[in-house]
Amino acid sequence: MAKRALLTGVTGQDGAYLSEFLLSKGYEVFGVIRRSSHRGVEDHRLRWLGIAAKVRLLDGDLGDLSSLLRITQDVQPDEIYNLAAQSFVASSWRQPILTANITAVGVANMLEAARIAAPGARFYQASSSEMYGLIQQPMQNEKTPFYPRSPYAVAKLYGHWITVNYRESFGLHASSGILFNHESPLRGIEFVTRKVSDGVARIKLGKAKELRLGNIDAKRDWGHAKDYVRAMWMMLQQEKPDNYVVATGRTTTVRDMCRIAFTHAGLEMDEHVVIDPAFYRPTDVDVLLGDASKARATLGWAPKIGLEEMICEMVDADLKRVRTEPAI
């Protein structure tokens, strides 16, 4: 029989690409989706990949344990991927309680549902490089101390450690992937890489003249979401659960990432980028650089798509989107 996978955050960037990957492996894919008055809009990433009809969406919410128990009991998944979160760092200062309830306590709810209704299922928790925050080592690995610098990162740290605790307390096959920044044409428009690719497309097509950004000297370790969801699956194929850093080992400033995008479109970045203090964060993470040696050695994982290729793909996708936007 085909394996069954249950995904929270199924309509996000990672959920969509992971669904595509699992379907290619012959899985039945089930996704937890919040009740919304915008039904038919939220699955646009699944439709963009052409897989919406192949993923079964089930109403539930990370803040509602009863719905998670019901879904887990009904699906009886072989693998559970907890990808859902309030995942926009900037919003976590404006909505710290929501972020805590979903990004932190929501993980405990999903683990409880797994422990009670599907204790044999293998569990993946989406942890984040933002947990390192004010970095304690030049390169961050699984043993680097954490120093979160946003309500989002603090909430992710709870989710990370409660996953470890359930693994050690109840014997769940629960792994945590500490994923560094990963992007794609499916990235939300509020994230800086997609904000840049969309802005470049609009400037190129004459629909905008400038792109307003905050701290463009921050450095990040950027990879492609397609590579990173493959690492998630690899973790759950191991005999023993564990924590793994997933990263490229290359750090790039937002400024240089912007330059790649503008150059690809034949534009001069300095003519269009405006630094706007309104986009500065109360506390920022200056640099992140991941050491994925353990994932390479144990999982056999390595990224296949480079930064330049990824940014060019994103710009091309946004050029196509913006060209076909209806006139207002």
**62-108 per-position pLDDT tens digit:** 999 999 999 999 999 999 999 999 877 878 889 999 999 999 999 99
Greatest Cα pair distance, the chain, in angstroms, is: 58
Residue 34: its pLDDT value, please? 86
| Nearest one of 45, 38, 44 to 13, comparing CA atoms | 45
In this prediction, residue 40 has a pLDDT band, given cuts at 50, 70 and 90, of low
In this prediction, residue 201 has a pLDDT band, given cuts at 50, 70 and 90, of very high
Residue 90: its pLDDT value, please? 79
Q: Is 293 a catalytic residue?
A: no
Domain boundaries, the chain: 4-183+223-246, 192-220+250-288+305-323
What's the whole-model pTM score?
Answer: 0.93
Cα–Cα distances (Å) from 102 to 96, 99, 246, 308, in that order, read: 10, 5, 23, 33
Residue 36: its pLDDT value, please? 65
Q: Is 128 a catalytic residue?
A: yes
Is a pLDDT exceeding 60 seen at residue 281? yes
The one catalytic residue among 19, 127, 128, 129: 128
Q: Is 176 a catalytic residue?
A: no
Is a pLDDT exceeding 70 seen at residue 328? no
Mean pLDDT of the 209-216 span: 94
The one catalytic residue among 152, 158, 166, 228: 152
In this prediction, residue 209 has a pLDDT band, given cuts at 50, 70 and 90, of very high
CATH superfamily to which 192-220+250-288+305-323 belongs: UDP-galactose 4-epimerase, domain 1 (3.90.25.10)
Residue 39: its pLDDT value, please? 60
The one catalytic residue among 20, 28, 79, 130: 130
CATH number for the 4-183+223-246 domain, one of 3.40.50.720, 2.40.50.140, 3.10.180.10, 3.40.50.300?
3.40.50.720
